[in-house]
Amino acid sequence: MFQVLILQAAPRQETPVFTGPASSILLPGHDGEFEILDFHKPIISALKKGFIVVDNIKTIPIKRGVVKMANQSLVAIVDLADVKPGQGKASL
């Protein structure tokens, strides 16, 4: 497992959007979705509108962001998307 920290860029919040261990995280990259697993090589990437999925359990809708994975630690800074109850991936 690796450590995950997801922060909201604006408006800035003191409380992280998500923090904790994960074994898998799916991210909406500009060139397509990609997955980070344990012991992933270091990477920095821009994120587009879509969903961050942590361990197939927690789903976080985003407008855009950036992510860095290094030394078993993932940090993402994102703008959260407004998703109303009942909206799915197609409407984001």
Residue 8: CATH number of its domain: 2.60.15.10
Kindly state whether residue 16 falls inside one of the protein's structural domains.
Answer: yes
Q: Is the pLDDT of residue 21 over 90?
A: yes
Name the residue range of residue 21's domain: 2-83
pLDDT, tens digit, 9 for 90 and up, residues 44-91: 999 999 999 999 999 999 999 999 999 999 999 999 998 765 666 555
- Tell which residue, 71, 40, 74, has the closest CA to residue 54: 74
φ, ψ for residue 90 (rounded to 5)?
-65, -30
Q: What is the pLDDT of residue 12?
A: 76
- For residue 89, tell me if it sits in a domain: no
Rounded-to-integer distance, Cα 29 and Cα 19, Å: 20
Would you say the pTM of this structure is higher than 0.75? yes
Q: Is the dihedral of CA 21, 25, 29, 31 positive or negative?
A: positive
Rounded Cα–Cα distance for residues 30 and 18 (Å)? 22
Report yes or no on 78 lying in a domain: yes
Residue 54 domain flag: yes
How many structural domains are present in the chain?
A: 1
